[in-house]
Every structure is written in structure tokens, then in C-alpha cells.
Amino acid sequence: MLSRLSRALRPVKGWKTMGFSVAIAVAGALQATDWTTIVAPSQVGPTLLAIGVVVAVLRAVTDGPVGRK
């Protein structure tokens, strides 16, 4: 079981760390951002929902590894 997991994660070597680093940086930026200065308070939720949907759609339509065409 552990060897299968290791083989499955081998192609993403290095990207996990980069992804985690980016996630922490984004979380810090989002926490420091006053969203009401960017969008109306009533639109903060829908705006973040739209961003999440766009990311999910991009993940669904892309199948190549990061950095390759």
C-alpha cells in the first residue's frame, strides 16, 4: 500500500512543497485583504464562489502536468 502511494506521488515530487507554499502565501494575503474595498460587502461570498468555480473548471479541462504543454 505504501509503495503504491509512493509511486503515485513520484510525478508530483517538488510540486507538493510549492503548492503548500503558495497556499500559505495566498491564505496570508486573503487574511490581510479587506475584501470590502475590492468588492461590495454583499458580493464577497459570490465573488469567492466564482473564483472557486473557475479553478475547478480549469482543473477539469486541463490534464497536463504543471509546466508542460
Same domain, 24 and 46: no
Q: Are 16 and 9 in contact (CB under 8 A)?
A: yes
Q: Are 15 and 66 in contact (CB under 8 A)?
A: yes
How far apart CA 36 and CA 57 sit, in angstroms, is 26
Same domain, 40 and 57: yes
pLDDT of 3 reads 73
**pLDDT tens digits for range 38-56:** 888 888 889 889 988 888 8
Same domain, 29 and 46: no
Same domain, 47 and 67: yes
pLDDT of 6 reads 66
Report residues of the chain scoring pLDDT below 70. Answer: 1-2, 5-6, 8-16, 64-69
Residue 58, H or E segment? helix 44-61
pLDDT of 12 reads 62
pLDDT of 1 reads 62
Give percent helix, percent strand, percent coil of the chain, each to the nearest 5: 75, 0, 25
pTM above 0.85, yes or no: no
The total number of structural domains that make up the chain: 2
Same domain, 25 and 45: no
Same domain, 69 and 40: yes
> What's the length of the chain?
69
Domain residue limits at 24: 1-33
